[in-house]
Amino acid sequence: MLYACHCRDCQKQSASAFGMSLIMRRDDVSFTRGAEHLKRWDTRGEDGRSKRCAFCPDCGTRLYHASERDDAAISVKAGSLDDTRWLRPVAHIWLQSAQPWLEIEREPGPCFAQEPDDEAALASLWQQQSNHG
């Protein structure tokens, strides 16, 4: 499931207007090379829970976050993928801190001032979107 996050953390980690979080099962993600070189650091998310952030020490690109909220999943920083053409966020979250000049396409997904109460709702939207190709 992919969403665009406009929280201040994501603005900082991407050094840009927003972050793209691709939520994947941890077991489904593997690094083809360089995994042993990754650097990690711990911080707290907007929800106050700790998360571990992994980045490339050579170029500084943030690669993924692992949250203590969910052991089984990681948030891949989707802008770091080799092929990003297929990416289409299912929703925008934390719009209350979005850059004021940013015009957001409100379709197909919903928008949230903060984090949605029910992340499962995003997952089911993602499934619908994926099924329609």
Binding site for Zn ion (CB under 5 A): 5, 7, 9-10
- Residue 9 CB, shortest distance to Zn ion, in Å, is 5
- Residue 94 CB, shortest distance to Zn ion, in Å, is 6
- Residue 12 CB, shortest distance to Zn ion, in Å, is 9
> CA 107 to CA 20: how far, in whole Å?
17
Q: Quick one: 37 or 44, whose CB is closer to Zn ion? A: 44
Q: Quick one: 3 or 58, whose CB is closer to Zn ion? A: 3
Q: Quick one: 7 or 91, whose CB is closer to Zn ion? A: 7
Cβ–Cβ < 8 Å for 124, 35 = no
Phi, psi angles (nearest 5°) of residue 9:
-60, -45
Which residues are CB-neighbours of 42 under 8 A, at least 6 positions away? 50, 51, 52, 53
